[in-house]
Homo-oligomer: A and B are copies of this chain.
């Protein structure tokens, strides 16, 4: 979930200078239109890791926008007036009216997060509080508000660096408190609980946007553009569409630094090494399935990847290690009539394996946020809600002691072309290449964006994505087998 916010996103001074004037103008225009039309309010939450630049970001927004139509609320300790009212009272009285923008730094997420990290409240209580928040935000959206939530993220190293930097300067030393260092010591706990929180409160109507916090220019520009994009979309949607698509857009990262592009696609494995590793991990996998505790588990393996990335061959390397009675391969193509008459997730629920069995999905429930999104087979609000439904689905399997292992097999555009041409030449492989494959290829960039969004929104601690550099088939197959073994081992140890 935080992977894409640890890539070292950066915006150069040059780009910054070029982009800012247009953005400011756009924001002012949008604000003016909002204040004239008075049809909805904009609620902006800026939350995240300590010292990730929340305050600075809000300062910039205030600088860029028209202060008459923006109100900032940095809520910290409860006042005595607030203490005597229900928890949410302080937020209700700070809500912006229609036509205005309200920015919140101390948000309704702070208390539940900190309380859970410090053990004051248990997970069930956290969930209870989060559900109240979901209901509150749903009410805001139902009442027409545009709710935009930004989470500023820093890696552990980056946070330390920032704390040190602030401390070293007498002008900013006061900003680093003991609490900040206490929180830093609990970094991994904070990360875990934050992830749980973001996952369950990222709804279709008000999804979180996770923003890397280390480079100020990147941070400001990302948030500014997201606000502008969302406001513009809502302002330009005619009322007659009866809010058909009130979902704020997901915008592509502004520096074009995508997690998929950070993979080292030159990774290779020589034939001899491949063969010995293959034997090793196939043997290991087979052994694991005969472990005495394996009967308490089941395994779901999800394969997604570029066309011609080698999913089929990789799956065969797994099944070679298994007993045929023990696994089922589920190739996912267009739904059958029967499946079409059911909720989208039905075709996957029906294939959940029994204990001590494998279900290997060749393409998966992620189709909705990949091909259906890119090809426009379903409306945006439908694929937006799919992220939450998918996380729910995987969580339910995992609670039931299913090991969920998800692979994205990645090849480069050039490698794909080479494989397509090769397939066309070889007779028995020709059936594997269709016009559709060529069409999909034309939308390479759209797919790439959709994949990165998918990773951001569904790579969770309990069900992480494994990205596999698959230009070299040998390397890919071993990485998959090895990861699969590790995940099953981890589950057996529990």
A299 to chain B, nearest CB (A): 13
Q: Are A343 and B145 in contact (CB under 8 A)?
A: yes
A298 to B22, CA, bound (A): 52
Q: Which residues of B contact A400 (CB under 8 A)?
A: 85-87
Q: Are A99 and B343 in contact (CB under 8 A)?
A: no
Q: Answer yes or no: A124 CB below 8 A from chain B CBs.
A: yes
A490 to chain B, nearest CB (A): 20
With both beta carbons as reference points, the residue of chain B lying nearest to A348 in the complex is identified as B92
A132 to B354, CA, bound (A): 23
Q: Are B343 and A140 in contact (CB under 8 A)?
A: yes
Q: Answer yes or no: A98 CB below 8 A from chain B CBs.
A: yes
In chain A between 74 and 90, which residues have their CB closer than 8 angstroms to a CB of chain B? 81, 84-89
Q: Are B124 and A350 in contact (CB under 8 A)?
A: no
With both beta carbons as reference points, the residue of chain B lying nearest to A98 in the complex is identified as B341
Q: Are B139 and A128 in contact (CB under 8 A)?
A: no
From B88, B124, B349, B354, contact of A124 by CB (8 A): B124
In chain A between 166 and 207, which residues have their CB closer than 8 angstroms to a CB of chain B? none
Q: Answer yes or no: A3 CB below 8 A from chain B CBs.
A: no
Q: Answer yes or no: A355 CB below 8 A from chain B CBs.
A: yes
Interface-forming stretch among A325-333, A391-399, A438-446, A455-463?
A: A391-399
Q: Are A89 and B342 in contact (CB under 8 A)?
A: no
A342 to B95, CA, bound (A): 8
A58 to B132, CA, bound (A): 35
Interface string of A341-353 (1 = CB under 8 A from B): 1111110011010
Q: Which residues of B contact A89 (CB under 8 A)?
A: 349, 352
Interface string of A123-150 (1 = CB under 8 A from B): 0110110011001000110110100000
Q: Answer yes or no: A338 CB below 8 A from chain B CBs.
A: yes
From B87, B241, B340, contact of A396 by CB (8 A): B87
A294 to chain B, nearest CB (A): 13
Q: Are A350 and B86 in contact (CB under 8 A)?
A: no
Q: Are A389 and B97 in contact (CB under 8 A)?
A: no
Q: Which residues of B contact A241 (CB under 8 A)?
A: 242
Q: Are B244 and A350 in contact (CB under 8 A)?
A: no
A209 to B143, CA, bound (A): 25
Q: Answer yes or no: A385 CB below 8 A from chain B CBs.
A: yes
A88 to B88, CA, bound (A): 33
A432 to chain B, nearest CB (A): 32
With both beta carbons as reference points, the residue of chain B lying nearest to A131 in the complex is identified as B131
Q: Answer yes or no: A93 CB below 8 A from chain B CBs.
A: yes
Q: Answer yes or no: A122 CB below 8 A from chain B CBs.
A: yes
In chain A between 397 and 432, which residues have their CB closer than 8 angstroms to a CB of chain B? 397, 399-400, 402
A337 to chain B, nearest CB (A): 9
A242 to chain B, nearest CB (A): 6
A388 to B399, CA, bound (A): 30
Most chain B beta-carbon neighbours within 10 Å: one of A41, A85, A340, A355: A85
Q: Answer yes or no: A38 CB below 8 A from chain B CBs.
A: yes
Q: Answer yes or no: A307 CB below 8 A from chain B CBs.
A: no
Q: Are B140 and A97 in contact (CB under 8 A)?
A: no
Q: Answer yes or no: A472 CB below 8 A from chain B CBs.
A: no
Q: Answer yes or no: A382 CB below 8 A from chain B CBs.
A: yes
A41 to B346, CA, bound (A): 13
Given the known inter-chain contacts A84-B298, A86-B396, A352-B86, please indicate yes or no for A99 contacting B341, CB distance below 8 A: yes
With both beta carbons as reference points, the residue of chain B lying nearest to A296 in the complex is identified as B84
A351 to chain B, nearest CB (A): 10
Q: Are A346 and B392 in contact (CB under 8 A)?
A: no
With both beta carbons as reference points, the residue of chain B lying nearest to A295 in the complex is identified as B84
A121 to B426, CA, bound (A): 61
In chain A between 295 and 340, which residues have their CB closer than 8 angstroms to a CB of chain B? 298, 338, 340
Q: Can you name 22 A-B residue pairings with CB atoms under 8 Å?
A: A84-B355, A86-B352, A86-B397, A86-B399, A87-B400, A88-B349, A89-B352, A93-B349, A98-B341, A122-B124, A124-B127, A128-B128, A128-B131, A131-B131, A135-B388, A139-B389, A140-B343, A142-B382, A145-B343, A241-B242, A242-B242, A242-B244
The 7 closest A-B pairs by CB, nearest first: A97-B341, A124-B124, A92-B349, A143-B343, A86-B396, A98-B341, A86-B400
Q: A86-B397, A99-B341 are in contact. List 13 more A-B contacts (CB 8 A).
A: A38-B341, A84-B298, A85-B352, A87-B396, A89-B349, A92-B346, A97-B338, A124-B127, A135-B392, A139-B385, A142-B382, A145-B343, A241-B242
